[in-house]
Amino acid sequence: MRIAVASMGSSPQALVGVRFGMCSQFLVFDTETQEYVVTSVPPRAEARDQVSLAAIRAVAQQGIAVIITGQIKDVCRQTILSLGIDVIDGVTGMTVEEAIHRYRTTGMPSADTRRGFVTKVAIVAEGEGMEAVLAPPLHLCTSFIVVDPETNSWERVDIPEDGPPHEVNLKAIRTVVKSGACAVITPEIHPECCMALQALAVSVYTAPAGIAVREALARYERGELEETVYAL
């Protein structure tokens, strides 16, 4: 069986996409070989309905039996079902890998089985709230806006600069993990910090400096941000 999962990143550790049609990529798994391929949906300037149709065409060509996604419009669901493809929607708060595992073990028949842990996103920014601006750290990451994407509630987290740079960065990494964030968005990051976050199952994405936290989060949810990966 082949299963397509809307994804916010290009690895199984990425989160399941929040909105079908707004995701620029899908991970297509073969449950017999345990292998997967990344299917990309090129950015388009058309209306959202046309973008959704492009996504449907892209994954349907992969010979899949099931699509797993977050929110999906009813017209898209009906179109997919008419192609003989099952739809598991309303999936939130879990990685692609977890969604595949949960589908294989439970079938995800109810809303409870489609809900994972509460996920947050830590964004390196200066200022307060959703209008804070992303700013590249000079040598230390000491200011984050931690956002719950489901509610847009946020908290500002500051890391005291009371030690050598490597110790401050370690504090920042530990603080991000303790906040419940599963992803960090930043204009830039040192390779060692990125690898440390990866080792703790926190994904790292880059976004342009100068945009607001709100815009960075929207790009993240649409799958438009590039994931930064270093070999561990």
Helix (H) or strand (E) holding 188: none
Give start and end residues of each alpha helix (H) in the chain.
48-60, 74-82, 96-106, 165-178, 191-199, 213-221
This prediction has a pTM of 0.59
Of how many residues is the chain composed? 232
Packing angle, helices 74-82 and 48-60, rounded to 10: 30
Three-state DSSP class for residue 55: helix
pLDDT tens digits, the chain, 232 residues: what are they? 999 999 877 888 788 887 787 777 899 999 999 899 999 876 554 555 566 888 898 889 999 999 999 889 899 999 999 999 999 999 987 889 999 999 999 999 998 888 886 578 999 998 999 999 998 765 567 789 999 887 889 999 998 888 888 888 888 888 888 888 888 999 988 888 888 888 777 888 999 999 999 999 988 877 788 888 776 5
The identity of residue 40, as a single letter, is: S
- At residue 116, the pLDDT reads 80
Domains and CATH numbers, the chain: 2-114 (3.30.420.130), 120-227 (3.30.420.130)
- Res 50: pLDDT: 61
Structure tokens at 155: 């908290």
